[in-house]
């Protein structure tokens, strides 16, 4: 993956630089630094994404989109932690967002199948696109940490201990976040369904 060059420097010299120095060069638009970071981390990030998604093409898209974002927002980059850790978290968050969208779609389809069996009707009473957008919106309204904890629990079937280790938080915090997420989502979705049923 290459982008037109500025500030051409010797690649051998660049390869000796630490990540933080390459990031500084990236912020001022150095293409060689960008390409070197891509070559250094894209293979391991691809494997990481592929393990989570079980889909080669989606994994490639996730990694490509992440590096495209790094280039387009290079001047605003604020990476205080280790770059490798930052990139791993960024890939995981993008995968979780994909899971959330897919979960909403599948849950809606399952609900509609049950609903149609219940009333024997060929046409459902709901506006599919509108309902999907509302449910997805409710998921996105959860605080970031709460949403991550909830998705790791429900979509990746991870234990409280595993989630706590992944996010570097206490197990008690994980339990509380999942409880609050379920409480908020159940309340919101009940109101949504009541609205559509009686509209």
% of residues, the chain, pLDDT over 70? 68
- For residues 38 and 118, the model is more confident at 38
pLDDT given at position 45: 92
Alpha-carbon span 1 to 83, nearest angstrom: 19
pLDDT tens-digit map of 104-160: 455 545 544 555 554 444 444 445 566 666 667 777 788 888 888 877 877 677 888
Point out the least confidently predicted range of 1-5, 6-10, 138-142, 192-196. 1-5
pLDDT given at position 43: 93
pLDDT tens-digit map of 68-97: 999 998 888 887 778 888 899 889 888 887
Angle at 86 between CA 81 and CA 92, to 5 degrees: 150
Does residue 86 contact residue 69 with C-beta atoms inside 8 Å? no
- Interhelix angle 83-119/19-27, rounded to 10 degrees, is 70
pLDDT given at position 71: 92
pLDDT tens-digit map of 151-197: 787 767 788 888 888 888 888 898 888 888 877 777 666 555 544 44
pLDDT given at position 44: 92
pLDDT given at position 187: 65
pLDDT given at position 12: 73
Q: Mean of the per-residue pLDDT values for the chain?
A: 75
**Residue 174, burial from CB neighbour count under 10 angstroms (0-12, 13-18, 19+):** buried
Angle at 83 between CA 80 and CA 85, to 5 degrees: 100
Examine the pLDDT at 54 and tell me if it is beyond 70: yes
Mean pLDDT for the stretch of residues 24-31: 89
pLDDT given at position 5: 42
Structure tokens at 32: 């060689």
Q: Where are the alpha helices (DSSP H) in the chain?
A: 11-15, 19-27, 31-53, 56-72, 83-119, 128-141, 144-154, 160-167, 171-197
pLDDT given at position 46: 92
pLDDT given at position 75: 87
């Amino acid at each position: 993956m290459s982008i037109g060059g500025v500030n051409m420097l010797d690649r051998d010299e660049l390869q000796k630089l630490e990540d933080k120095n390459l990031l500084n060069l990236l912020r001022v638009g150095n293409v060689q630094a960008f390409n070197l970071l891509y070559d250094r981390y894209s293979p391991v990030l691809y494997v990481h994404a592929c393990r989570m998604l079980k889909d080669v093409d989606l994994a490639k898209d996730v990694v490509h989109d992440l590096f495209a974002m790094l280039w387009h927002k290079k001047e605003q980059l604020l990476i205080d932690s280790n770059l490798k850790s930052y990139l791993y978290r960024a890939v995981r968050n993008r995968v979780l967002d994909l899971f959330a969208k897919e979960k909403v779609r599948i849950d809606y389809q399952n609900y509609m199948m049950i609903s149609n069996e219940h009333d024997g009707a060929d046409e459902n009473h709901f506006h599919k696109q509108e309902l999907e957008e509302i449910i997805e919106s409710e998921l996105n309204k959860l605080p970031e940490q709460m949403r991550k904890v909830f998705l790791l629990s429900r979509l990746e079937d991870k234990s409280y201990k595993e989630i706590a280790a992944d996010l570097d938080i206490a197990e008690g915090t994980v339990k509380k976040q999942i409880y609050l997420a379920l409480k908020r989502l159940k309340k919101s979705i009940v109101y949504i369904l009541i609205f559509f049923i009686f509209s």
